[in-house]
Chains A and B, each alone.
Chain A
Amino acid sequence: MPNEIIQLRGIHIEFDGDVIIDNLNLDIKDKEFVTLLGPSGCGKTTTLRTIAGFVTPDEGDVIFDGERINDLPPYKRQVNTVFQKYALFTHLNVYDNIAFGLRLRKTPKDVIEKKVEEILEVVDLKGYRSRSINSLSGGQQQRVAIARALVNSPRVLLLDEPLGALDLKLRKDMQIELKRIQKQTGITFVYVTHDQEEALTMSDTVVVMKNGVIQQIGRPKDIYDEPANAFVADFIGESNILDGIVLRDRLVSFDGATFECVDSGFGENVPVDVVVRPEDIAVCEPEKGAIRATVKLVTFKGVHYEMIAESCGFSWKIHSIQQHPEGSEIGMNIIPEYIHIMKKEAGTAN
């Protein structure tokens, strides 16, 4: 076996007749930070729970380190979970929460003591060992939940939207913290989130899911730059998604203009989805642009201005460092590399 620690093969799961996961195949490499990303109800949490052992797939195999573990109960698996709302034991203090798993494994007292102290240091909670759970802030509870799972030295750590309950600032800090912990411990992280920014900043590999089906697997940059379809493009970052027609290889027409592009192999005169990121649009004098549009709304976003500009057939979202007054005419140009062409899919018409 190469270094794949978890393999999901043809997983199919239904609840009450609804298909939650449909023929899912996924390989997770050892020491990797993998994020399952998608809107709520996309099956990402169910996938995670399948690995943890709380859900048994109707079809397919869950393979851990080369062994099929479909029938292994959760308490015998070498994975640990950080739950969405932490699921900390409020009747126990910080130390007892963290020691919970070690005690169940009949670890000697002095070893527990040592390991808990170590892990408290890793999660930056030294001196909190006898505090009660309710006396901790959300961020601290989060760290206890991570420590409680990590202290058992699992081969894989599963994290189910662990930062969802935290405020923005804390979330950013914890993202960096989690990445650091993952690197420091060398444990495989499988991370579930619906926050695309979180997925892009933290992961080695991002798995985008929708309706129980994997849409794309790839490195964050690849997914951002080369979304596999309009759904991924829309979900990852902000996008303008338009109907277009590929005239021939490397030539596409949309919004009443014709553009050169880099994609080929779609055929001739084929309807496609065209995706353009708001920051990839170059604003110029009206007469110099390939497309003319009228600025309808300008919002200051800190680093840039976000503009909504209407052309003859489309409402564009544009990020620009220059401010153009509302009501003014602008021109827009897009270079070939920034035009992403996608095959039309059933059910993705926007």
Chain B
Amino acid sequence: MKKALSRAYMALIFLFLYAPILLLVFFSFNSSNSNVVFDGFSLRWYRELFHDSEIIGALFNTLVIALLASVISTIIGTAAAIGLQNYKKWRQKAIMNVTYIPVLNPDIITGISLLLLFVAVKIPGGFLTVLLSHITFDIPYVILAVKPRLRHVDPHLYEAAQDLGAPPLSAFFKAVFPQLVPGIMSAFLMALTLSIDDFVVTFFVRGNSFSTLSTVIYSITKRKIPLSINALCALMMLCVLALLIAVNLFDKGKTKNKEAER
């Protein structure tokens, strides 16, 4: 009874979360341009999506920005996490407090404060401002993902490598860095998804001509609502689902290996 009740509750909540999205996906196969009346199955909106140069261009921008921003922020952030360890406690704390600002600030505040900076130093909105902004909100998440990993690395690994004849730099890359790779990878993925997902910050700093997927969706849905947006949503969901399943399987494989090894 109790079990059935909790199952029903879960089902209801997930229905609430999924019904809108699934309906959106469902109507992406509609042959007419309606989000409410289904007139028959067609792939028309998928075709239109791929011929919509505005959306495809924005998709390209989104991917370029996301990739560049996550690579750069992963490098700067990882280096920062490693270097910060050697700072005095109070300095580390002060720097980490600053690091929390973009994480805790509402996106809209991050967006307008960066906009004010760009206006003040007269950098016109566009690719560069969007990239700089994305790097700015990505780095803190990278630091927060790598830092705990670093704490779990046995400090003797670094010494052990030196003890066996490796000079400091080589000791770091041969002994410590491999231990950080999973943390760096998840930091990179997190930065990537944050960048792809961002609407608000991009919206404020993008200027007049540069668009990413999210800002294009916003401006399109403001005018009319073509179902190619639904098709886009369906494809994005598919990608995310694939990614999540892949990550999950990867994690499972790892834990299984570990269990088997024990």
Contact = CB atoms under 8 A, between A and B. Distances in A.
Interface in B22-67: none
A83 B164 CA distance: 12
A323 interface: no
Interface stretch (B128-136, B171-179, B226-234): B171-179
A92 B205 CA distance: 46
A336 B10 CA distance: 83
A54 interface: yes
Interface stretch (B69-77, B93-101, B154-162, B211-219): B154-162
Contacts of B167: 73, 75
Contact of A85 (B156, B170, B262): B156
A81 B160 contact: yes
B251 interface: no
Interface string B136-169: 0000000000000000001011011111111110
A84 interface: yes
Interface stretch (A6-14, A99-107, A121-129, A268-276): A99-107
B113 to A, nearest CB: 41
A322 interface: no
Interface string A131-154: 010110000000000001100100
A85 B171 CA distance: 18
Question: Among A52, A73, A83, A85, which residue has the most Cβ atoms of chain B within 10 A?
Answer: A83
B162 A135 contact: no
A87 B164 contact: no
A83 B161 contact: no
A74 interface: yes
A101 B179 contact: no
A52 B161 CA distance: 12
A54 B159 contact: yes
B222 interface: no
B262 to A, nearest CB: 8
Contact of A104 (B156, B165, B179): B165
Given A87-B154, A134-B261, A135-B261, A75 B175 contact: no
B258 interface: yes
B261 A75 contact: no
B165 A83 contact: no
Contact of B164 (A80, A132, A134, A135): A80
B156 A83 contact: yes
Contacts of B262: 134-135
Contacts of B160: 81, 83, 87-89
Given A75-B166, A87-B154, A134 B258 contact: yes
Contact of A148 (B159, B164, B178): B164
Given A87-B154, A89-B178, A134-B258, A101 B165 contact: yes
Contacts of A52: 159, 163
A91 interface: yes
A185 interface: no
A75 B175 CA distance: 14
B175 A73 contact: no
A87 B156 contact: yes
Contacts of B179: 90-91
Interface residues of A, number: 27
Contacts of A83: 156, 159-160
A104 B165 CA distance: 6
A104 B261 contact: no
Interface in A24-81: 52, 54, 73-76, 79-81
A104 B164 contact: yes
Nearest to A151: B164
Contacts of A74: 159, 162-163
A165 B114 CA distance: 53
A104 B166 contact: yes
A229 to B, nearest CB: 34
B163 to A, nearest CB: 5
Nearest to A100: B164
A148 B175 CA distance: 14
Question: Among A74, A76, A134, which residue has the most Cβ atoms of chain B within 10 A?
Answer: A74
Interface string A256-294: 000000000000000000000000000000000000000
A123 to B, nearest CB: 16
Contacts of B164: 75, 80, 100-101, 104, 148-149, 152
Contact of B178 (A87, A91, A149): A91
Contact of A73 (B156, B162, B258): B162
Contacts of A54: 159, 162
A143 to B, nearest CB: 15
A74 B159 CA distance: 8
Given A73-B167, A85-B154, A87-B157, 12 more contacts: A54-B162, A75-B165, A75-B171, A81-B160, A83-B159, A83-B160, A89-B174, A101-B165, A104-B165, A104-B166, A135-B260, A148-B164
Q: Which 7 A-B pairs have the closest CB atoms?
A: A101-B164, A135-B261, A87-B156, A91-B178, A87-B160, A104-B165, A74-B162
8 contacts: A52-B159, A75-B166, A81-B159, A87-B157, A87-B160, A89-B160, A100-B164, A104-B166
